[in-house]
Copies of this chain bind each other. A is one copy, B any other.
């Protein structure tokens, strides 16, 4: 599978996200191979972390890149990850297995390991998200009603320190939702804003796996013990191929109880079409 963009001269990826999610398949060693099994080498790159822990959406994209290549299909359609250990910068291996290769979808599992520690376990289906475009369509709601991009608050200008991840992207929050760092909370666990990569890489369906976990937790806007919100499980549905231009995203939490919270996202492209949704189950910050 080709990289999204490569320098004509060097063959190296033009964009940070492509370098950071590059994986290479190990040559098959013959006799011991199980059918549908493959092993990839990849690397958790520095700079995609919050306080030393790689962002969950970034890990999803690295593993998703290996699964996509092994599937032989162009798009992740639905992908679930369980987060088992923090991802630290350094080499990782991703083992992938084909569960079922169907006409429309290829179902895959994958496991990402860093040394002897498993970081994430995945289950997902890959296909062609635009194969059935133009058929029956019915979408309730639409993109969030955001102020123009230039009137929104850069996440990185917003008093957040120790978040190298912020250098990878231009996330511009609706100013109405962006004052939690000053202790001003809206009282409703919603954060909306614009998303672009810092180096203007176009967002394809692989990058959507990163986008759905790229915003601050919306619970920062309610009176709750603050802190790290560890994801237990994250499921992404890729629903379309984004047209070029900034994405509009809505992140929100409705259900906090019994030590767990849910967080949903909807991601819309510049043509007002839904391109991804996600839902995660996370642990409450321990106060």
- Where the two chains meet, the residues of A that have a C-beta atom closer than 8 Å to any C-beta of B are 77-78, 80, 82, 84, 99-100, 104-105, 107, 109, 118, 121-125, 129-133, 135-141, 188-189, 222, 224-225, 232-233, 235, 237, 239-240, 254-260, 262, 273-274, 277, 279, 281, 283-284, 287
Contacts and interface: CB of A to CB of B under 8 A. Distances in A.
A284 B224 contact: no
B239 A260 contact: yes
A271 B78 CA distance: 34
Contacts of A138: 189, 222, 224, 256-257
B258 A240 contact: yes
B284 A136 contact: yes
Contact of A255 (B80, B130, B239): B239
A277 B260 contact: no
Contacts of A139: 254-257
Contacts of A100: 84, 118, 121
B262 A237 contact: yes
12 contacts: A78-B232, A82-B107, A109-B109, A122-B123, A132-B259, A133-B258, A136-B287, A138-B256, A138-B257, A139-B254, A139-B255, A139-B257
